[in-house]
Amino acid sequence: MPSDAANDFWTKASRSLLKTGVPFSPAVIVKALGTRLYDIEGNQILDFTSGQMSSLLGHSHPEIVQVIQKSAAELDHLLSNMISPPVVDLGERLRRILPRPLEKSFFLNTGGESVEAAIKLAKCYTGKFEIIAFSASYHGLTQGVVSATYSAGRKFGGPVMPGQFAFPAPYAYRSPFHHADDSYDWETEMEYGWSLIDRQTVGSLAAFVMEPILSTGGVLELPKGYLTKMSIECKKRGILMILDEAQTGVGRTGQMFAFQHEEGFVPDILCLSKTLGCGLPLSSISTTTDIEHGANAAGFMWLTTHSNDPLPAAIGDKVLEMERDGICERAAERGEQLSQGLLRLQKKYWCIGDVRGCGLLQGIEIISDVETKASGSALGQVVSERALSKGLSCNIITYPGMGDVFRLAPPVTVTAAEIEEGLEVLDEAFAYVLNERGIRN
């Protein structure tokens, strides 16, 4: 039974908070430290979603806390055009880390805001207005980016921006495109996608915005060679490539940036957020000198209250500094352990249709029928709830109808023992739900 404190909390929440279409979690968290959350009842919860996929180094990392305290006491917020040392330091560190020709950056707050700004940058540089995005994309809910978002959030907001095109998302588990040996034929699928775009465009294609792993869309990995071929097709049409690495950047996938898994590929514009701020609001847009000059000549302008704020910039600089601790290698090692554990669960439970992902961004797709691969969203929701009750936060998608793909993204500071602990809770949750409901296939 909930305690008096919990009941009082929910009474206040019910009368004072506006619902935004996403159900509240039943967990009332009062403390977060490392990979653990602590609820109002005193229970521990292992955090396998890094908060909102953001707390890359875990919660309240000592070095991050130290930077926050120092910055809050000395230099927190300025006029947006007052460029401070923390902002320049972060820009310089990104310039050193990023491959050429990416060398010019500016800083905002959220992922949606960064992609919104990147789209405007591309429109100014190209003088065009049409934007392409994957059919399972999620880039945010402000007007420009929700127009390029197809996995959720488009309905009931009125008309979207003109010139928006959906491109077939690379979904190997469910794609209708196959070779004779039944392997995934992504090349033909890509050709089909471009044939649709070429028929629809009015000749004003500006950019293709994409995630290197479509996270909200179902943890869909781009096949090897996909980005290289896509780059060739975009260049043919004079289209810029915008990569949204909100969840995949800063080491989570085993490379500093997920696009680096594709040797030789560099996007025209790179957006970072979530992991860059380690749970605090910070995002970045990085591009080439040529694009900066061209966009500014066309009158590009972006100004918000918290552009280039010193406090979050100082945090971002510290997060990137943590590359010294081998966070990429840790993510690759712990990610392989997590992936192998999930594959073992797949062999054990028929309702796990697919396991996919890279590094510490893994997904498991829940099905309700082995033959048809029908969605197991309702089943996945119950498994998620059971896991949470047993001390594991393991599925960031809690919106009704979106529980069929679990996203697991522990902090890169997670230990081998904690990975095994999380897998044990998942094992128990699947067993309990299938046995309790008597579900067989």
User: What are the structure tokens assigned to 249, written together?
Assistant: 């950047």
Q: How far apart are the first and last CA of the chain?
A: 34
| Extents of the domains making up the chain | 23-53+326-436, 63-324
Burial class (CB in 10 A: 0-12, 13-18, 19+), 180: exposed
**Which of 223, 116, 242, 93 shows the shortest CA–CA distance to 171?**
223
Contact between residue 414 and residue 360 where contact means Cβ atoms under 8 Å apart: yes
Note the pLDDT of residue 280. Answer: 94
What residues pair up with 240 in beta bridges, in sequence order? 207
Which CATH class, in words, describes the domain spanning 63-324? alpha beta
Residue 196 region by backbone torsions, left for phi larger than 0, else alpha for psi between -120 and 50, else beta: alpha
Sequence-distant (6+) residues with CB within 8 A of 436 are none
| Adjacent-strand bridge partners of 38 | 31, 44
User: Which pLDDT score is estimated for 399?
Assistant: 54
**AA identity, residue 69:** Q
Q: Which of 352, 360, 441 is nearest to 405 (CA)?
A: 352
Q: What is the dihedral of CA 63, 64, 67, 73, to 10 degrees?
A: -120
Q: What distance lies between CA 228 and its chain's CA centroid?
A: 21
DSSP state letters, 180-191:
TTS-B-HHHHHH
Helix (H, G, I), strand (E, B) or coil at 145: helix
**How many other CB atoms are there within 10 angstroms of residue 156's CB atom?**
6
Q: Is the CB of residue 247 less than 8 Å from the CB of residue 215?
A: yes
Q: The pTM is what? A: 0.95
- Report the alpha-carbon distance of residue 318 to residue 437 in Å, rounded: 48
Contact 398, 384 (CB under 8 A): yes
Phi-psi region for residue 201, left (φ > 0), alpha (ψ -120 to 50) or beta?
A: beta
Distance CA 333, CA 42 (A): 32
**What is the reported pLDDT for 286?**
98
CA distances to 218, 356, 371, 381 from 375, in Å: 12, 16, 11, 11
Instruction: Confirm if 237 and 350 have CB atoms less than 8 A apart.
Output: no
Q: Are strands 104-108 and 283-287 parallel, antiparallel or unpaired?
A: antiparallel
Is beta strand 205-210 parallel, antiparallel or unpaired with respect to 220-221? unpaired
pLDDT of residue 366: 93
Instruction: Yes or no: say if 58 and 67 are a contact pair by the CB < 8 Å rule.
Output: no
Nearest-angstrom CA–CA distance, 119 and 131: 8
- Residue 212 to residue 358: CA distance in whole angstroms: 11
Q: How far apart are CA 283 and CA 43, in angstroms?
A: 33
Per-residue pLDDT of the chain (441 residues; tens, 9 = 90+): 678 888 999 999 999 999 888 888 889 999 999 999 999 999 999 999 999 999 999 999 999 999 999 999 999 999 999 999 999 999 999 999 999 999 999 999 999 999 999 999 999 999 999 999 999 999 999 889 999 999 888 888 889 999 999 999 999 999 999 999 999 999 999 999 999 999 999 999 999 999 999 998 899 999 999 999 999 999 999 999 999 999 999 999 999 999 999 999 999 999 999 999 999 999 999 999 999 999 999 999 999 999 999 999 999 999 999 999 999 999 999 999 999 999 999 999 999 999 999 999 999 999 999 999 998 888 888 899 999 999 999 876 655 545 588 899 999 999 999 999 999 999 999 999 998 766 666
Contact status, residue 194 vs residue 205, Cβ threshold 8 Å = no
In the three-class reduction of DSSP (H, G, I as helix; E, B as strand; rest coil), residue 17 is classed as: coil
Closest CA to 273 of 18, 44, 55, 69: 55
What is the architecture, at CATH level 2, of domain 23-53+326-436? Alpha-Beta Complex (3.90)
Tell me the C-alpha distance between 126 and 163, whole Å.
14
